A and B are shown apart, each in its own frame.
Chain A
Amino acid sequence: MDIASCKRDFPLLHQIVHGHRLVYLDSASSSQRPQSVLDAMDNYYETTHANVHRGVYAIAEEADRRYEAARTAVGRFIGAPNPAQEVIFTKNATEAVNLVALTWGRQTLKSGDAVLLTDMEHHANLVPWLMLAEERGIELRWIPMGDDYRLDLTDLDRLLDGVKLVACTTMSNVLGTIPPFARIADAAHRAGALVLADGAQSVPHLPTDVRSLGCDFLAFSAHKMLGPTGIGVLWARQELLDSMPPFMGGGGMIADVRRDGFTTNELPWKFEAGTPPIAEAVGFGAAVDYLDAVGMEAIHKHELSLTAYALETLAQRFGDDLRIFGPATTDERGGVLSLAYRDIHPHDLAQVLDQQGVCVRAGHHCAKPLMRRLGVNATARASLYLYNDESDVDTLADALAEAATLFG
């Protein structure tokens, strides 16, 4: 598949906003969907919707087949050794991290145990641990970020002493930094800790293999990778999932229920209480099919070259007036550009860009500890995906110049 033709597959991108072509640069927050994903969900509802796991009639069996086929497809997409058992469908990546904190965490962590986080985590991979720290008296430690916007691993071995879990992003949603995850995971395992990867930003953009990452848990969301909202994944090694207590209670997650107790269902259903997001799973499956057809290597290469073009174009046109919070080169970096332009507040910047049809996000990007570390309240963030091209970056630059005119 030709990556230059990708844009055509996304109906939402072909519209005029405020008299301008829509330029969507907010995929780090949520991506758009190709027609094939929308069609897969429509077709599911039009032809075969029924509840999963219980029906014996034809359309229910077909619903079940499509739901489980999506699970397998998503599992293969991340290199899961046992995709049919190890992929737990959740509401989103946030719920996946909470699932680990509330099951494995509550079962394992005692007062005095430590969890190692990093300076660049999203609130989704912070607040569940803060909640557990409050409840259990566990200690939270932090891998610091250096002035080059990369993690400083100098003291890693000392930080790991007594740590039971390392919870670390695989790509910063603010900086675009890709931490040396496998190296961190390796050190963590040698120190006897487990490792959780917040893959919300990297799984949509980089080839992912849970074994080469070296993670024990991986959390990610469908809506950032061309799929629908309302569904995400927790992947974990099967023996861990087997040993963990269930998450929410209800239908589907049980093998037997008596007046005096219950036994849990087998994997993966043990962690999926209630009717799951079936159409969303089907859409998720179609999304990874689309990404596979384009090829994750090709997507990564495209985004690298587009990020390099953006870094160069913005530096050329705006020089020192424009500051980018993130690595200055494309080494170990994704297509996330957190901008500060002159002293124009990010909210005002985003408002002016919107008038030119350019969608960027302004705010703290759910990473307030990182924003404090950066010394700002907010940034304006442009993020790239496979359907963006150089003309989108040029339009962004033109719109930034327009903002300078207004705010002088």
Chain B
Amino acid sequence: MPGLEDLYREIILDHYRSPRNRGELPSPPARRAEGFNPLCGDEVVVYVDVDDGTLKDIRISGQGCSISQSSASLMSGAVKGKSLPEVRDLIRTFKAMMSIHEARLGDGDADEPVALDPESLGELAALQGVVKFPVRIKCATLSWNTLAQGLDDAESPDIATATD
């Protein structure tokens, strides 16, 4: 039986109490993407400033639980200043970490979990305990899915020309 200490690591509570990169960016030129968790009503807004293939700046607003807010805060620090392919890689790696549990439940193949490079996750590894609480996985992935949507928008010439 997983305990709360697996979920509420000190680093998670720290990012919840003092979220990094909180706020907004002027949009345009920044892209703005909204994500909702229909189960709990949580919402996150991610602003991304993409320039020359690099995620130059990111801001997070919205409200939610400690897991969704700390995940967004940790994410913002991890992706800021990275090239878009690096950011995409990190999104994939993070979501793979969050889906291990589901994959094991699904096909019973516990021997070969998705290969993860813990080095690449840094502080984000603190969120690994969330997979023991399946209902909360959506809280942890909300900002990541929203970031991916923001990057899609930023990279799509059709939408980039549309007004916000």
Contact = CB atoms under 8 A, between A and B. Distances in A.
Interface of A: 18, 345-348, 351-352, 355, 362-364, 368, 371, 377-378, 406-407
Q: Give the residue among B3, B40, B63, B64 with the most A Cβ atoms within 10 A.
A: B40
Given A347-B66, A363-B40, 4 more contacts: A345-B69, A351-B136, A377-B63, A407-B13
A362 B139 CA distance: 13
Given A363-B41, A368-B41, A377-B42, A406 B4 contact: yes
B4 A355 contact: yes
A44 to B, nearest CB: 34
Interface string B1-40: 1011001100001000000000000000000000000011
Contact of A18 (B1, B39, B139): B1
Contact of A351 (B41, B42, B43, B133): B133
B4 A351 contact: yes
B41 A377 contact: yes
Contact of A347 (B3, B13, B139): B139
Q: Give the residue among A345, A352, A407 with the most B Cβ atoms within 10 A.
A: A345
B65 A348 contact: yes
Contacts of B3: 355
A348 B66 contact: yes
Nearest to B62: A377
B41 A371 contact: yes
Nearest to B1: A18
Given A351-B133, A351-B136, A377-B63, A364 B40 contact: yes
B17 to A, nearest CB: 9
Please classify how large the interface on chain B is, using the bins under 10, 10 to 19, 20 to 34, 35 or more.
20 to 34
A325 to B, nearest CB: 14
B4 A377 contact: no
Interface of B: 1, 3-4, 7-8, 13, 39-43, 63-67, 69, 133, 136, 139
Contact of A406 (B8, B64, B65, B67): B8
Instruction: Give 10 closest A-B pairs by Cβ, nearest first.
Output: A347-B65, A345-B65, A364-B41, A377-B41, A363-B40, A378-B41, A348-B66, A348-B65, A355-B4, A347-B40
Contacts of A378: 40-42
A377 B43 contact: yes
Contacts of B66: 345, 347-348, 407
Contacts of A363: 39-41
Contacts of A18: 1
Contacts of B40: 346-347, 362-364, 377-378
Nearest to B7: A351
Contacts of B1: 18
A83 to B, nearest CB: 38
A192 B4 CA distance: 57
A101 B20 CA distance: 48
6 contacts: A18-B1, A347-B42, A348-B67, A363-B41, A364-B41, A368-B41
Q: Give the residue among B41, B64, B69 with the most A Cβ atoms within 10 A.
A: B41
Contacts of B69: 345
A406 B39 CA distance: 24
B150 to A, nearest CB: 21
A378 B139 CA distance: 14
B140 to A, nearest CB: 12
Contacts of A347: 40, 42, 64-67, 136, 139
